[in-house]
Structure 1
Amino acid sequence: MRDFSQIFSLDGKTALVVGAGRGIGHAAALGLADFGSRVLCADIDGAEDTASEISSRGGAAESVALDMLDPDSIRETAGRVGAVDVLVSSPSINVRKRLLDVTDEEFDRVIDLNMKGNLRLMRVFGERMRQQGGGSIILFSSIRATVVEPGQGVYAATKAGTLQMARALASELGEDGVRVNAIAPGVVDTPLTQKIKDDPEWYEAYASKSVLGRWAEPEEFVGPVVYLASEASSYVTGSYMLVDGGWTAADGRFEPPL
């Protein structure tokens, strides 16, 4: 019988983590390294610190310059780092406004990073994985891909779009051995949610919406990322993995101040 004790091992793998400077990306980079992967830490700020932290823990890591908003930067990075086995993309921005108040410029800014940034990454690294005959792409969608609240229209649209792009690429590259999946967080304690944390009523409303009664910590996404990066998920592709503390399993609503 097969020995399953090593199915989560990432020994000999190289992972590129975009957004490794903080939040979920930072935690994912550390987790992938702990399971044996060489990690390329990419971000516009903080990537060097994450790479140094991994090295101090005995892992293999280096920081790379990559700007998701710049197609040339992505192509140049791909040329420098060569083949990667795992791509993780976590960065997002948000503009909390009712749709009737969103300007074209604000819409474009959110779309450009959250959706087009992921498209740029998938286009370059997906092609390289296709050529090498395998790989795992892990994008971050959100519960907002399926449930929404006032002020989240544009952000939610990008997260639904990210999910559908992941599913489409999974269908296009499956025969080439490339798997593509989307993780959907609920509310997570990261810099993106600072505005909510600053409002006690809003913070508690989000905590109580989860059936676990609390927010998630970035470290709680290491398990899902390692799973999707490893052979443990060898037959998982095109999936929408909810990591939301039961948020979407229970009913309820809070209208935040905008």
Structure 2
Amino acid sequence: TALHVDVRDTASVETMIANVMRQHGKLDFALTTPAVNLRKRLLDYSEEEFDRVVELNLKGTFRVARVCARPMMERKRGSMVLMSSIRALNVEPGQSIYASTKAAIAQLTRGLAVELGPHGVRVNALAPGIVATPLTQPITSNPVWNEAYAKRTALGRWAEPEEMAGPIMFLASDASSYLTGTTIFADAGWTAIDGRFEPQLKT
């Protein structure tokens, strides 16, 4: 059953979780994925635009995590995955504010893991690499940019959204029962590579 929620509104989040509890009696897992990215140079950002990105990405994640934590703590069991990004580590021009929110989410993950761990609740983050989604459509629709980004990965390609399901399900399941406070980078080696150099060295 799909439930509508506006993560910018605490009451909306609380209503959603109350509906989940009423229908199912428990909350096993929560995944937060709010994201907006205004690709602009830092000095071109208005305060209103800054607030918009932080409000959705960071505060939206905070609201969902805070509300979901309570029923999980009561059961002494639960898992959350907060969506970070490779931009938490690597930044390019025009993504400073988005990257800042994703880095903050990685740190929020650690803080929540420390506070909720004694109550049996695990909190981890997933940091996807380049994934073909509506958010990245401005890049994938440009052949030059699309290829340049793909070449930055060790696998030489973009990810499909479905490829993020595996690590999410792992973190949701008991297979990751000893993992908390961790950020998993599902990025095809993007953060492992210190640039690409042409021509390639012969080995």
Shorter-chain TM-score: which interval?
Answer: over 0.9
Q: Which residue of 2 aligns with 1:25?
A: none
Q: Give 4+ residue runs of structure 1 displaced > 6 Å after superposition.
A: none
Q: Which amino acid aligns with 2:13?
A: I
Which of 86, 89, 95 is the equivalent residue of 1:152? 95
State TM-score, norm by structure 1.
Answer: 0.73
- Give the aligned partner of residue 53 of structure 1: none
Q: Could you tell me the percent identity over the aligned residues?
A: 53
8 A Cα contact 2:34 2:61, kept in partner:
no
Task: Indicate yes or no: 2:182 matched with 1:239.
Answer: yes
Q: Contact (CA 8 Å) 2:33, 2:61: kept in 1 or not? A: no
> Deviation at 1:91?
2.4
Unaligned runs of 5+ in 2: 197-203
2:5 is equivalent to residue 66 of structure 1: yes
User: What amino acid maps onto 1:75 in structure 2?
Assistant: E
The residue number in structure 2 matching 1:211 is: 154
Offset at 1:230? 0.5
Look up the match of 2:173. Answer: 230
Task: Give the deviation of 1:153 after TM superposition.
Answer: 0.2
Per-residue Cα deviation, 1:150-197 (whole angstroms, up to 9, x for no partner): 001000000001111111000001011000000001100000001001
CA deviation after TM superposition for structure 1 residue 84, in Å: 0.9
Q: Which amino acid aligns with 2:54?
A: I
Q: How does 1:20-31 map to 2 (within 5 A)?
A: none
Aligned residues: 192
State the distance in 2 between where 1:140 and 1:76 align: 22
In the alignment, the residues of structure 1 paired with residue 41 and residue 85 of structure 2 have an alpha-carbon distance, to the nearest angstrom, of 19
Query: Deviations along 1:109-139, whole A, 9 cap, x unmatched?
Result: 1101100000000111112211121100011
Unaligned runs of 5+ in 1: 1-61, 254-258
Residue equivalent to 1:123: 66
The equivalent position to 1:181 in structure 2, one of 92, 114, 124, is 124
